[in-house]
Amino acid sequence: MIRERVESRHSSGIVVGLIDPDARRRVVAWGTGAGGAPLDEHSVFEIGSVTKTFTASVLAEMVARGEVRLDQPVAELLGPGVVIPERNGRKITLLDLATQSSGLPRMPGNFAPRDPSNPYADYDGARMLGFLAGYQLPRDIGERYEYSNLGVGLLGFALARKANMSYERLVAERILRPLEMAESGVTLTPALTARLAPGHNSGLDPQRTWELDALAGAGAVRSTVGDMLRYLAAHMDSASRPLGRALATTHERRRAGPQPNLSLGLAWHRLNNAAGDTIVWHNGETGGYHSFVGWNPARRVGVVVLSNSATNIDDVALHILDERIPLTRPPVQRVAVDLAPEVLARYVGVYQLAPTFSIAITREGSALHLQATNQPRFPLYAESEGKFFLRVVDAQVEFTKDGTGAVDALILVQNGARQRGARVK
C-alpha cells in the first residue's frame, strides 16, 4: 500500500509500525528521509495533533498523582488576574478542554502569524490569554463537540503552569522518560535533527518544520515510529508499568462526538465500527507531515503511520485496523499553470461562506494565497483561468462571474462538497 503511494508521488515517504495480537512489533517503510537515506523506524517526524494525546496523558498522570482534578476549572491553574470565559455560571474545566467540548473555537481570533510557513511560532501566552479574556462563548460549555487547537493548547499551557515548568519539560518528565522514548521531544537534539525526515506539502514541495509556543500542547511533539510503538503499547496494556493504569483512563468514553458512531475520551477519538468494535485513534497534520496512531482493543491490533508529506494517510491506518474500512482513491494529480498578474488580480478579495467563516484571497507578485478565518495562509495554484487548487489539502477553488464579467463568488470544493462564498470585498 505505501510503496504504491510513494512511487505514484501521492506521498513523499511513509513509515508504518504495527502491533499484532501477540504484542509483536513490525515496521514497514518506503521513501527517503534525511540526507536521502531510506526511511526507517528511527526517522523523525512531526506528529502534529497526535500531541494532543500526550497532553491528555499528562493530564491523566497528574490526576493520578492528585495534582489536579478533571472537574477543576482551568482558571484555577492559571493564577490570579487571568480571565477565562464562562457561560451561564459554568466554568471551563480540564475535562471540557480534553474532550473538545469547551465552547472555544478551533483557533483564536487574534491568530495572525508573521510567517505563514511557521504559523504558530509567534503565538505566545500573552496573546492567547488576551484573546480568552475578551472572548464570549457562543454556546453552553459541554454542549457539543468542536475540535479546538486553542482548547487543548490552553490545557497544555495550564498543566505546565501548574507544574511550574515548560510544556516541553512536563511532557518529557511525565511521559517520554518513563516510557523510554529517547527519540521524541519538542526541541530536537543535534542527533535527532540529523534524522529528521524533510517535510513536504501534499504537492511534495519542501516545507519547513513548525515551532509552537503557547499552543504547544496542541501539536509540538516530534517522534519516530519506534518510539510511538512504545507509546502505543503502553496505551494498549493497562497493566503496563509505569503509566498503563493512568493512560487507560484517557480511553474511557467521556463525551459524545460529532457523529453518532464517534465519541471522545481524553483527547482520543473512539470510532464504533460495523462489527461493534471501538477503534481508539488520533491523527495529526502540520505543513509538511501527517500522522495517525490508533488501535482496536477487541482485535488487540495497533498501528502507527507517520509520513513526511501532508497527504492524508488515515485510510491506510484505518484499513489496517479494520479491513472493511476501504482505502480511499488518491487525489487527482493537478498541474499548475502560469496566469498573468492582471488576471490573478481579478480574484483578490474576501468571500463569505458562512456568517463567521470567510476566505481571503491575496496576491503577491505572480502567486495567489488563500487564508480562511482563523487559519494559516496557503498558496493557491492555478489549474486554468478561474480554477485553482491547494496542495496542502485536497481542495479546489472555482471563481464565478456576474453578468458584467466581474468575479462575484468562489466555490470551495472539498470532500465531495461544494460551498459557495459571495464576494464581500
Does pLDDT of 18 surpass 80? yes
pLDDT 10s digits, 169-221: 999 999 999 999 999 999 999 999 999 999 998 778 899 999 999 999 999 99
Q: Is 277 exposed, middle or buried (0-12, 13-18, 19+ CB in 10 A)?
A: middle
Please answer whether residues 170 and 160 qualify as being in contact, where contact means their C-beta atoms are separated by less than 8 angstroms: yes
What's the pLDDT band for 331 if we cut at 50, 70, 90?
A: low
Q: Tell whether the model's pLDDT for residue 13 goes beyond 70.
A: yes
- Give the model's confidence band at 373: pLDDT under 50 very low, under 70 low, under 90 confident, else very high: confident
Tell me if 284 sits within 8 A of 277, measured CB to CB.
no
Residue 46's beta-bridge partner residues? 222
Q: Are 346 and 407 in contact (CB under 8 A)?
A: yes
Report the candidate in 290, 41, 13, 280 with the shortest Cα–Cα distance to residue 184.
41
SS3 52: helix
Collect all residues with Cβ–Cβ distance below 8 Å to 299 and sequence separation of at least 6.
21, 277, 321
* Cβ proximity of 377 and 116 under 8 Å: yes
Using CA atoms, how far residue 252 sits from 263, 264, 267, in Å, is 10, 8, 10
Predicted local confidence at residue 313, as pLDDT: 94
In this structure, what are the phi and psi dihedrals at residue 52, rounded to the nearest 5 degrees? Answer: -60, -30
- State mean pLDDT over 87-103: 97
Average confidence (pLDDT) over 349-370 = 92
C-beta of residue 299 within 8 angstroms of C-beta of residue 276: no
Q: How many residues would you count in the chain?
A: 425
Q: What is the enclosing helix (H) or strand (E) of 319?
A: helix 314-321
Residue 2, helix vs strand vs coil: helix
Set of cell numbers at residue 16 = 508504518
**Grid-cell match 456576474, residue found:** 402
| Cβ-count burial 102-115 (b if 16+ within 10 Å, e if not) | bbbbebbeebeeee
Distances (CA, A) of 401 to 336, 344, 378, 411: 22, 14, 23, 11
Of 204-213, 214-223, 233-242, 321-330, give the lowest mean pLDDT range: 321-330
pTM for the predicted model, two decimal places: 0.85
All 3 cell numbers of residue 356? 463567521
Evaluate if residue 290 carries a pLDDT over 70: yes
Write the burial class of residue 65 (CB in 10 Å: 0-12 exposed, 13-18 middle, 19+ buried): exposed
Domains and CATH numbers, the chain: 12-321 (3.40.710.10), 341-423 (2.40.128.50)
Per DSSP, what are the bridge partners of residue 272?
278
The residue behind cell 500542547 is 217
